[in-house]
């Protein structure tokens, strides 16, 4: 008589007593399949639970921010190649996009109506919305500097500030669903 151990769903070990070699092979295959299924199901179940938390994937704000990201990359590329005409074009687009984004409400600020300053917004939500508005105003100011400046050092400093500002904004308001 041989003995084998099997990890069950509760992650406790069950003792299986095997009586002959044919049965041993079949039970080992079953045990291997079950243990593989158990270990593989844990990451999938947590992923599905995470998806339930993040129902809203595509929003106007998210799309606008993605477009801003690509415009900022294009601006940086133009800056590195000294293409001032292209820099100006991308800076203007960044200003337009930041104005659109400023009027939106991040999904992380839960609200019940379409208007951001609705009376059913809690005090905490209103505070978060004001913080978001302030961050977007600061970002618009930085984009204005990019639009108006021709000084390389000032532009480099502004790009660095934009990077920091973006990290700060994402930490506070971006959905954590990726």
Domain membership of residue 72 (yes or no) is yes
- Return the closest-CA partner of residue 31 out of 45, 46, 43, 17: 17
Domain membership of residue 178 (yes or no) is no
Report CA-CA distances (Å) from 60 to 14, 65, 68, 171, 174: 52, 9, 12, 19, 13
Residues 98 and 156 in one domain: yes
Is pLDDT above 50 for 62?
yes
Q: What is the pLDDT of residues 16-41, one digit of tens each?
A: 544 555 556 566 666 565 555 555 54
Q: What is the pLDDT of residues 101-124, one digit of tens each?
A: 988 888 777 654 455 555 567 788
Distance CA 107, CA 41 (A): 30
% of residues, the chain, pLDDT over 90: 36
CB 134 within 8 A of CB 88: no
**pLDDT at res. 118:** 54
Residues 49 and 26 in one domain: yes
**pLDDT at res. 60:** 86
Distance CA 107, CA 62 (A): 9
Is pLDDT above 50 for 158?
yes
Which one is predicted more confidently, 153 or 27? 153
Q: What average pLDDT does this structure show over 55-66?
A: 78
Greatest mean pLDDT among 11-20, 40-49, 127-136: 127-136
Query: Where does a domain end: 53, 69, 91?
Result: 53
Residues 22 and 95 in one domain: no
Is pLDDT above 60 for 171?
yes
Q: What is the pTM of this model?
A: 0.63
Which one is predicted more confidently, 96 or 172? 96
Q: What average pLDDT does this structure show over 44-71?
A: 67
Domain count, the chain: 2
Residues 43 and 70 in one domain: no
- Return the closest-CA partner of residue 87 out of 22, 131, 152: 152
Residue 73 tokens read as: 């990359």
Is pLDDT above 70 for 45?
no
**pLDDT at res. 23:** 58
Residue 70 tokens read as: 């690509």
Residues 99 and 17 in one domain: no
Query: Where does a domain end: 37, 53, 69?
Result: 53
Residue 110: CATH number of its domain: 1.20.120
Report CA-CA distances (Å) from 94 to 17, 97, 124: 69, 5, 29
Residues 45 and 131 in one domain: no
Which one is predicted more confidently, 82 or 30? 82
């Amino acid at each position: 008589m041989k003995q084998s151990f099997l990890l069950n769903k509760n992650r406790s070990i069950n003792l299986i007593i095997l009586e002959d070699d044919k049965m041993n092979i079949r039970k080992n295959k079953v045990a291997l399949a079950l243990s593989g299924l158990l270990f593989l199901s844990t990451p999938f179940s947590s992923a599905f639970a995470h998806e339930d938390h993040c129902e809203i994937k595509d929003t106007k704000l998210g799309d606008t921010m993605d477009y801003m990201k690509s415009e900022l990359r294009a601006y940086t590329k133009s800056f590195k190649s000294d293409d001032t005409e292209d820099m100006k074009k991308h800076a203007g687009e960044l200003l337009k996009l930041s104005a659109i984004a400023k009027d939106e409400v991040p999904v992380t600020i839960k609200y019940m109506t379409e208007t951001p300053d609705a009376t059913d917004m809690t005090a905490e939500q209103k505070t978060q919305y004001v913080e978001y508005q302030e961050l977007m105003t600061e970002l618009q100011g930085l984009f204005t500097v990019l639009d108006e400046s021709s000084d390389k050092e000032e532009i480099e400093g502004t790009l660095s500030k934009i990077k920091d500002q973006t990290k700060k904004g994402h930490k506070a308001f971006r959905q954590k669903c990726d």
